Structure 1
Amino acid sequence: MGSASAVLGPLCDGQHSSHDVLHYTAPSHLELGPLQLETCWWVPLLFAVAGVILGVSHPVLDSWQQGRGGQQPRGGADPSWTLVLAAIALFVLQYAASGGLEAPLLGQTLMGGLPTLDIVLAAAAVAIWWAFDATPQGLAMACLTAVAGPAVEVALINGLHLYAYTHPAVLGVPTWIAWVYFAGGPAVGNLGRRVSSSLVQRRRRHRAGEA
């Protein structure tokens, strides 16, 4: 989980810097074919920690809910790789869209003054949760991620001055970033379920072989 997140996270985050959404104080620039990514040495580590937390918490909460007769995720405790990769792909698309749409939608509002970009990304994030999770525990983790993620960013920006958003709204971060974190919950959570299931099955085969 840590390795996958350490690779995927900076690739997604690089979409923000490439669209002038944010820039690092001491950046590292990577060229991956047509992709020009701006990142920093600590970014993969931070994403790795987040990946481990989300990857472990979802199977644990699923097991707890199952013991209480609660709802199980759409893909079950053992989701297919097709479902896992589809959830990740849509999360990556939402992440990229948040960067690409910020400039054209900046300042635009809908529904009584709510920012248009927030509405678009919120709808996409909730749709991802509904399509690939749809459980109370998954919703709780998505909401927790949507709160904890921006809170960590506030500390990194205002406390450590490691990077800055071009168009911040509250305490140095844009409001729409919470919906990007929200969508990451079901995407990374299903990868965690897939990995957990594989480990459980391997352990069972090993025990059967010993017997």
Structure 2
Amino acid sequence: MPRLHDHFWSCPCAGAARHPSPPRARAAKPAAEPGDMSAAAAQAAGADPSPRGPRAGASGRASSWHHDLVQRSLVLFSVGVVLALVLNLLQIQRNVTLFPDEVIATIFSSAWWVPPCCGTAAAVVGLLYPCIDSHLGEPHKFKREWASVMRCIAVFVGINHASAKLDFANNVQLSLTLAALSLGLWWTFDRSRSGLGLGITIAFLATLITQFLVYNGVYQYTSPDFLYIRSWLPCIFFSGGVTVGNIGRQLAMGVPEKPHSD
């Protein structure tokens, strides 16, 4: 008589129990990784899961920033050219500035190189002011509107006009008066330490360059009392730097910061 355990081992289900299937057979398909799920979700939503998306965005921001920089430079250059033509006309009419007869003149009787040089200087100064404010972490917020900027330009033109029209007993009195007016312009429309420091630096450098040009006979001033130039000229450079700086700051309002490269 066959025993019970012999029937048990001869049963087909027992053979299946003795030889279990390998794990790969039981798991026909592995579970999806979390990264694959996110990639599939991004593709279903129409997004680009590759790292090219952020790079393209940074490239677009950089292109927009450079485009805005070029636009501001052109505006500042144009402002510098117009101011140079108008203010130099005032100086020439009062015989304060004299150019050689052989110099090619424009319709404003000004040397041809004066407007481009002043336009370039205005572009550099106008871009430098908001850049310094950004690096110092002190954004200029005093009277930030175009009406204030236009009044600042009017005062600057008035100071230059006073240097050519007003007659004082000596140049010292005129220089002190224009120095007070220039500081008043800074106090009224700027009041920032960066504006004061940049204005003084611009006045110093521009005075040195002017001394060099006059020394080499490019042009000359009547009745020089400060080496080869007039003693009030640094005041004009200071007020001009503050004025162009305010224009540059106003143009830079709402402009995104320069994108940093990774």
Q: What amino acid maps onto 2:206 in structure 1?
A: G
Normalising by structure 2, we get a TM-score of 0.65
1:89 aligns with 2:154: yes
Superposition pairs of residues 50-69 of structure 1, within 5 angstroms: 50-66=121-137
How far apart are the structure 2 equivalents of 1:88 and 1:27? 29
Q: Counterpart in 2 of 1:133?
A: 190
Q: Among the aligned pairs, what percent are the same residue?
A: 27
For structure 2, the residue ranges without an aligned partner over 5 or more in a row are: 1-75, 258-262
Partners of 1:130 and 1:177 in 2: CA distance: 19
Question: What secondary structure is seen at the aligned counterpart in 2 of 1:39?
Answer: coil
Closer, same or farther in 2 for the Cα pair 1:73/1:181, shift >3 Å? farther
Task: Please tell me the residue identity of whatever aligns with 1:9.
Answer: A
Give 1:171 deviation, angstroms. 2.6
CA separation of 1:170 and 1:119: change in aligned 2, threshold 3 A: closer
Gaps of 5+ in 1: 31-36, 109-114, 204-211
Aligned pairs, how many?
Answer: 180
Written as runs of structure 1 = structure 2, the 5 A alignment for 1:1-211 is 1-25=76-100, 26=103, 28=105, 30=107, 37-66=108-137, 70=138, 72-75=140-143, 79-101=144-166, 104-107=167-170, 115-159=172-216, 161-197=217-253, 200=255
1:206 equivalent in structure 2: none
Cα distance in structure 1, aligned partners of 2:159 and 2:79: 18
Which 4+ runs in 1 deviate beyond 6 A? none
Sort the Cα spacing of 1:171 and 1:72 in 2 relative to 1 into closer, same or farther, 3 A: same
Q: Distance in 2 between matches of 1:27 and 1:17?
A: 15
Deviation at 1:71, TM superposition (A): 6.8
Letter of the 1:197 partner, please give it.
M
Q: What CA distance in whole angstroms lies between the structure 1 residues aligned with 2:230 and 2:160?
A: 14
Residue deviations 1:122-176, cap 9 Å, x none?
Answer: 01000000111111100011101211111111111112x1211011112310111
Secondary structure of the structure 1 residue equivalent to 2:109:
strand
Shift of residue 183, structure 1, vs aligned partner: 0.6
CA distance, structure 1, for counterparts of residue 176 and residue 215 of structure 2: 26
1:27-81 per-residue CA deviation (whole Å, 9 max, x = no partner) reads 5253xxxxxx431100011101210121011101111222xxx473523xxx211
Q: CA deviation at 1:107?
A: 2.1
SS in 2 for 1:117: helix
Aligned CA distance change for structure 1 residues 44 and 156 (closer, same or farther; 3 Å) = same
Structure holding more strand per residue: 1
Q: Distance in 2 between matches of 1:19 and 1:173?
A: 15
Say what the alpha-carbon RMSD is for the aligned residues: 1.8
Q: Distance in 1 between matches of 2:169 and 2:221?
A: 13
- Distance change in 2, residues 1:29/1:44 (3 Å): closer
8 Å CA contact 2:106, 2:112 repeated in 1: no
**1:73/1:162 CA distance change after superposition, 3 Å:** farther
